[in-house]
A = this chain, B = another copy of it.
Amino acid sequence: MLQTASLPAGDVESPYGEELEMYRETVRAFFRREVEPRVREFEEHGSDRAIWRKAGEYGILGATIPEEYGGAGAHRMAIMVAAEELGYAPSGATMGSFIGTDICTNFLVDHGTEEQKKAWFPGILTGDVIQAMALTEPESGSDATSIRTTAVRDGDDYVINGSKCFISNGSKADLIYAIVKTDPAAKGRGMSVILVPGDTPGVTRRRMITQGYKGGDTGEIFFDNVRVPVSNLLGEENKAMAMFIPTIGLDRMQIVARSVGAAQAAFELTVEHCRNRKIFGQRLVDFQNTQFMLAQMETEISVGRAYLDNLIRKMWAGTLTDADSSMAKIWLCELEFRTLDSCVQLWGGNGWMDENPISRMFTAARVQRIFAGATELMKSLLGRRYL
């Protein structure tokens, strides 16, 4: 294989450290051995519970759960590594957000009661409990505080009403972190997180069909007088925003990490293709235009890799700013998109056939520039600083 700025980079020390690089190897092996062979099946019928349990067997779920609860007690950066690998695996384009659920796990680690942890951690580790963070609503978007789902206290229960959309793992989740208004008059200061088991009466869902992620699970969730005990409150009442804000940076950064992984994988697949494909009696790679397109891609990916590594170091140092993660979100997601677009072009007609991973990776790439804060929102946030 070409000596490129691969994952992890050859001649520069990994910013993750040895332990997380071992975690990376496990995640990569999982995708290569378990997901890739079944990708056509997932495309057609969606993912199944068996693949989640398989992920549990590999030990890649709930990486941040402390050792005392049977977890690996890994650093939170594990989610970055998992995201890079989700991007780097061609099958990741089919699987959607899939295993990147440790944003949820971390909520439970940080804010769960002993009882809640004991109830859910074992299932999370084995893959029996799929988690979903249910925040976004049809009429809220970038402004989380405008959600309308409510949880009204009734004796020892909360009664939840409302609907959520664009929820990763939403149609399958066994454990829903419902973000609700417990004090609707107070906007951001009246929001709480309530754990709702997926099989609670009154919970219904619908899988949404997305561009890309054919085997993924993006869902709508409806709460119709859903009743759960008040002990299902996660953390303190009305403190959801305070719990959320510290996680935003990491959430954006894992999306970004996925982009870098995907761009790298697409580039490698395409170099290989250009060496093998013959046209007009020459290899595709022999054309100057091909070489220039590949050089442009490699340059941008190398720049992106150096940039991401720098940000990862800031994350370790605790100096990553909101502006940093906004800029990363803009630039690295656009990088993935440009790379995939060029790759499809070099694959030609084959790049449009969904049998080909490049085709699926292209389709999956588009959402990266939109979710977890669209480019425009990031620019708006950055823009305020110039005033």
Q: Answer whether A303 and B327 are a contact pair too, CB < 8 Å, given A286-B387, A292-B376.
A: yes
State which residues 261-305 of A face B: CB under 8 Å.
271, 274-275, 285-286, 288, 290-292, 294-296, 298-300, 302-304
Q: Tell whether A58 is near chain B: CB-to-CB under 8 Å.
A: no
Q: Answer whether A299 and B327 are a contact pair too, CB < 8 Å, given A12-B310, A291-B386.
A: yes
Q: Tell whether A350 is near chain B: CB-to-CB under 8 Å.
A: no
Could you give, for residues 85-103 of chain A, a 1 whenever the CB lies within 8 Å of some chain B CB and a 0 otherwise? 0000000000000000000
Closest chain B residue to A320 by CB distance?
Answer: B11
- Compute how far the CA of A283 lies from the CA of B331 in the bound complex, rounded to whole angstroms: 27
The stretch of A149-157, A230-238, A377-385 that contacts the partner chain: A377-385
Cβ contact within 8 Å between B310 and A386: no
Q: Answer whether A385 and B306 are a contact pair too, CB < 8 Å, given A299-B331, A314-B12, A330-B295.
A: no
> How many Å from the CB of A284 to the closest CB on chain B?
10
Q: Answer whether A307 and B298 are a contact pair too, CB < 8 Å, given A2-B385, A285-B386.
A: no
Cβ contact within 8 Å between A327 and B307: no
State which residues 297-349 of A face B: CB under 8 Å.
298-300, 302-304, 306-307, 309-311, 314, 319, 321, 323-324, 326-327, 330-331
Chain B residue numbers with a CB within 8 Å of A286 are 387
- Compute how far the CA of A326 lies from the CA of B291 in the bound complex, rounded to whole angstroms: 14
Interface size on A, residues (CB 8 A): 46
Q: Answer whether A296 and B330 are a contact pair too, CB < 8 Å, given A307-B303, A307-B306, A319-B11.
A: yes
> How many Å from the CB of A30 to the closest CB on chain B?
30
Chain B residue numbers with a CB within 8 Å of A285 are 386-387
Question: How many copies, total?
Answer: 2
Q: Answer whether A306 and B310 are a contact pair too, CB < 8 Å, given A286-B387, A383-B294.
A: yes
> How many Å from the CB of A45 to the closest CB on chain B?
38
Closest chain B residue to A292 by CB distance?
Answer: B379
Chain B residue numbers with a CB within 8 Å of A296 are 330, 379
Cβ contact within 8 Å between B382 and A299: yes
Quick one: which of B295, B310, B382 contacts A291, CB cutoff 8 A? B382
Cβ contact within 8 Å between B327 and A379: no
Quick one: which of B295, B382, B386 contacts A275, CB cutoff 8 A? B386
State which residues 367-381 of A face B: CB under 8 Å.
376, 378-380
- Compute how far the CA of A13 lies from the CA of B324 in the bound complex, rounded to whole angstroms: 16
Q: Answer whether A303 and B331 are a contact pair too, CB < 8 Å, given A319-B11, A386-B271.
A: yes
Which of A319, A379, A383 lies at the interface centre, i.e. has the most chain B CB atoms within 10 A of its CB?
A383
- Compute how far the CA of A140 lies from the CA of B289 in the bound complex, rounded to whole angstroms: 24
Chain B residue numbers with a CB within 8 Å of A311 are 306
- Compute how far the CA of A382 lies from the CA of B314 in the bound complex, rounded to whole angstroms: 31
- Compute how far the CA of A331 lies from the CA of B299 in the bound complex, rounded to whole angstroms: 7
> How many Å from the CB of A342 to the closest CB on chain B?
13
Which of A3, A11, A307, A387 lies at the interface centre, i.e. has the most chain B CB atoms within 10 A of its CB?
A307
List A residues at the B interface (Cβ < 8 Å). Answer: 2-3, 11-12, 271, 274-275, 285-286, 288, 290-292, 294-296, 298-300, 302-304, 306-307, 309-311, 314, 319, 321, 323-324, 326-327, 330-331, 376, 378-380, 382-387
Name 18 interchain pairs, CB-CB below 8 A, sorted by A.
A12-B310, A274-B386, A285-B387, A286-B387, A290-B383, A291-B380, A291-B383, A295-B326, A295-B327, A295-B330, A295-B382, A295-B383, A299-B326, A299-B330, A303-B303, A303-B331, A306-B307, A306-B310
Which 9 residue pairs of A and B lie closest in terms of their CB atoms, listed nearest first? A291-B383, A306-B310, A295-B382, A295-B379, A299-B327, A306-B307, A292-B379, A303-B307, A299-B330
